[in-house]
Structure 1
Amino acid sequence: MRIGIFLIVAQFPDQKSEHVLANALELIVAAEEAGFADAWIAEHHFMSYGVCPSATTLAAVAIGRTSRIGVGTAVSVLSTQHPVALAEQAAMLHHLSGGRFTLGVGRGGPWVDLEVFGTGLERFERGFEESLDVLLGALSGGRVSAAGEFFSFREVPLVPPTRLRPVVACTSPPTVELAATRDLPMLLGMHIDDQQKNSMIAMYESHGGTAQAPHMAAAVAHVADSTAEARNDLKESLPRWLKPGLAGYIPVDNREPPSRDISAYVDFLTSVHPVGSPDRCVESIMRTSEATGIQHLILMVEGMGDHRRTLENIHRLGAEVLPQVSG
């Protein structure tokens, strides 16, 4: 198993976003010291759910603060930026990190970000395939050009040149099919269980995907002396983040904003994922691996909403869980 951490860079009530960002860097350093394989950073805009608007920027600073741990984006949103500009950033990080950087990309959502950045709802609804293909062309090690609906430009060299294959966040059948036809590995979210992961992997394979690089999955992780204590910790803390955080997803058009039963969602997260005693966390990780074949998990460790407690969670996971699941 390859185990990393997943940082949403979550802002809980009464926290300042600049402090949350600074703390995220400390968490990545702590994860390296604790033996985690990698650290993955989420991108969000205009909301407290996650306060990192540029996962590549935070990744760059983290790379400069560490020496061994891999650093990736989970994910950089293609619908709100130019794929060649993102490819340039990824190429720089790849070279400057000595190959420690991995680019993860996603479609994003129909949020107000599309209005603010001027890319429009069409880029989200119809443009992801074209955006991904332009990105892949730019990361093919040579020159890139485009002649499509959303991108049209003469051939130019990517500077610095590099060859990278991104990971693609998949939450819907069209994105699964797209990842499969490009033979790109999937990142599966923490909102689905093992059975749903298996369904998405089967769908991927039915479209011809072979995933030469392994698929990944995100999971909530919190360790305590007992499973009851760990679950109670998160059932108390997570709603304080999720309720205002999820309200930050504002549609760009007049569609209904998303809604979720917060209590039911927290019950799901604490029962499905490695939340519990060290033995319970090990059992959960191995169960997912055996049930799905996924060998790379990234653990969302920020669930307590307290920096000291998150550092403690990372250290305990590193000392009491990782040795039993990592190869």
Structure 2
Amino acid sequence: MKLGIFLLAAQFEAGDQGTVLTSAMDAGCAAEEAGFDEAWIAEHHFVPYGLCPSAVTFAAMLLGRTDRLRVGTAISVLPNTHPVALGEQAALLDQLSGGRFTLGIGRGGPWVDLEVFGSGIERYDEEGWAESVDLLMRWLTLRRVGAEGKHFRFRPVPVVPRPLTRPHPPAIIACTSATSAALAARQGLPMLLGMHADDCEKAEMISAYDAAARACGRDPRGVEHAAASVALVADSRAEAVRELKAALPRWLNRGLSAHQTVDGRARTMRDPHAYTDYLCEIHPVGTPRDVIAALRRTTEATGIRRHLLFAEGAGRPERTLDNIHRLGKEVLPEIRADAEQ
């Protein structure tokens, strides 16, 4: 298995936002020191759920402060930006990092972001989303690219700089439905599955992906899907659950409720306390043995061997660093031993 740290730059308490962002960067550096394979950063706009508005910029900073760690975006919100602009940034980071960058992309939500950045709901809807993904991947793969689609039309131009990694820099698509799984399969890209999905849902998504891949003549075997999960190590499971229940509900309620839809469509909000209970139940939370067992269980049920561990769940920067340290010291060696068997 491959383990990475998943960072949201989550603002649990009102206060200095610079401290939150700096703490997230420190956590990314700590992941390299603890022996993790990679670190991932999320992107959000106009909400305290996560304070990083540019996952690519954060990734660039973290790549510059580390030597070995792979760094990815989880995710860059593609409908908010031009695919070529994002492709140029990804190629730049691929070159400057020596191939340590992974571009994760997703649709985001039908949020007010689309109004602020001027892309509109059409870029979020299925047709615009698929056209954006196609243009981005052509930019990362070819020497010269033009566009004649509904949303993007321009004469062919040279790709400068070209990515270092062939056929393109590592990329992954956040997927929450069979439709998005099919899009990922058509592009030959792995899926990133979110924290909300249990093992059964993850397995169903992979089945949908496999069927779509075979339908378009692609072999789904060996595709390295990834899954995000809450991970907290403590001396007992009860202690870990208690910490998460003390921190997550207030953050979830304050952060997620701040999202505004761009077109007034109805939203369904999870109860933050019930959702916290659910996350504690399905994710690697508890003693090191509990965490190892949960990761093994997910891998056995789904085949996923790449795990992105959300380490900030206790809500305090010092506890995040302690969590990363303990995961690296008490969990990672056994997971690595599994991979060698």
TM range (shorter): over 0.9
* Partner of residue 256 from structure 1, selected from 266, 278, 288: 266
| Structure 2 counterpart of 1:84 | 84
Are 2:101 and 2:169, in contact at CA under 8 Å, matched by a contact in 1? no
* Partner of residue 183 from structure 2, selected from 169, 175, 178: 178
| Structure 2 counterpart of 1:50 | 50
Instruction: State the alpha-carbon separation in 2 of the partners of residues 16 and 250 from structure 1.
Output: 23
| Structure 2 counterpart of 1:214 | 224
| Structure 2 counterpart of 1:241 | 251
Which amino acid letter does the alignment assign opposite residue 225 of structure 2?
H
Are 1:3 and 1:38, in contact at CA under 8 Å, matched by a contact in 2? yes
| Structure 1 counterpart of 2:32 | 32
Give 1:213 deviation, angstroms: 3.8
Is residue 2:306 matched to residue 1:296? yes
Instruction: State the alpha-carbon separation in 2 of the partners of residues 75 and 246 from structure 1.
Output: 17
| Structure 2 counterpart of 1:197 | 202
Instruction: State the alpha-carbon separation in 1 of the partners of residues 142 and 318 from structure 2.
Output: 43
| Structure 2 counterpart of 1:71 | 71
| Structure 2 counterpart of 1:161 | 162
What is the DSSP-based 3-state SS (H/G/I as helix, E as strand, rest coil) of the residue aligned with 1:240?
Answer: helix
| Structure 1 counterpart of 2:318 | 308
Give 1:165 deviation, angstroms: 4.3
Between 1:265-274 and 1:248-257, the stretch displaced more is 248-257
Instruction: State the alpha-carbon separation in 2 of the partners of residues 92 and 277 from structure 1.
Output: 41
Are 2:44 and 2:50, in contact at CA under 8 Å, matched by a contact in 1? yes
| Structure 1 counterpart of 2:153 | 152
| Structure 2 counterpart of 1:6 | 6
Runs of 4+ aligned structure 1 residues displaced above 3 Å come to none
Are 2:101 and 2:170, in contact at CA under 8 Å, matched by a contact in 1? no
Are 1:219 and 1:298, in contact at CA under 8 Å, matched by a contact in 2? yes
Instruction: State the alpha-carbon separation in 1 of the partners of residues 99 and 222 from structure 2.
Output: 18
Between 1:16-25 and 1:279-288, the stretch displaced more is 16-25
| Structure 1 counterpart of 2:134 | 133
Are 1:84 and 1:134, in contact at CA under 8 Å, matched by a contact in 2? yes
Give per-residue Cα distances to partners, 1:20-73, cap 9 Å, x unaligned.
111111001100000110000100000000110000000000011000000000
Between 1:202-211 and 1:155-164, the stretch displaced more is 202-211
Instruction: State the alpha-carbon separation in 1 of the partners of residues 222 and 294 from structure 2.
Output: 25
| Structure 2 counterpart of 1:116 | 116
Are 2:130 and 2:183, in contact at CA under 8 Å, matched by a contact in 1? yes
| Structure 2 counterpart of 1:227 | 237
Which amino acid letter does the alignment assign opposite residue 148 of structure 2?
A
Q: How many residues align?
A: 327
What is the DSSP-based 3-state SS (H/G/I as helix, E as strand, rest coil) of the residue aligned with 1:191?
Answer: coil
The alignment's C-alpha RMSD in Å is 1.0
Extract unaligned runs of 5+ from structure 1.
none
| Structure 2 counterpart of 1:16 | 16
Give 1:211 deviation, angstroms: 6.0
Percent of pairs with identical residues: 54
Are 2:146 and 2:154, in contact at CA under 8 Å, matched by a contact in 1? yes
Give 1:212 deviation, angstroms: 4.7
Instruction: State the alpha-carbon separation in 2 of the partners of residues 15 and 146 from structure 1.
Output: 45
Instruction: State the alpha-carbon separation in 1 of the partners of residues 48 and 138 from structure 2.
Output: 34
What is the DSSP-based 3-state SS (H/G/I as helix, E as strand, rest coil) of the residue aligned with 1:40?
Answer: strand
Change (3 A) 1:95 1:213: farther
Give 1:158 deviation, angstroms: 1.4
Give 1:15 deviation, angstroms: 3.0
What is the DSSP-based 3-state SS (H/G/I as helix, E as strand, rest coil) of the residue aligned with 2:179?
Answer: helix
TM-score by length of 1: 0.98
Instruction: State the alpha-carbon separation in 1 of the partners of residues 222 and 161 from structure 2.
Output: 25
Instruction: State the alpha-carbon separation in 1 of the partners of residues 94 and 328 from structure 2.
Output: 26
Give 1:248 deviation, angstroms: 1.6
Extract unaligned runs of 5+ from structure 2.
none
Which amino acid letter does the alignment assign opposite residue 112 of structure 1?
V
Which amino acid letter does the alignment assign opposite residue 107 of structure 1?
R
Which amino acid letter does the alignment assign opposite residue 271 of structure 2?
D
Between 1:70-79 and 1:159-168, the stretch displaced more is 159-168
What is the DSSP-based 3-state SS (H/G/I as helix, E as strand, rest coil) of the residue aligned with 2:238?
Answer: helix
What is the DSSP-based 3-state SS (H/G/I as helix, E as strand, rest coil) of the residue aligned with 2:141?
Answer: coil
Give per-residue Cα distances to partners, 1:83-115, cap 9 Å, x unaligned.
000000000100111110000000111000000
Are 1:11 and 1:50, in contact at CA under 8 Å, matched by a contact in 2? yes
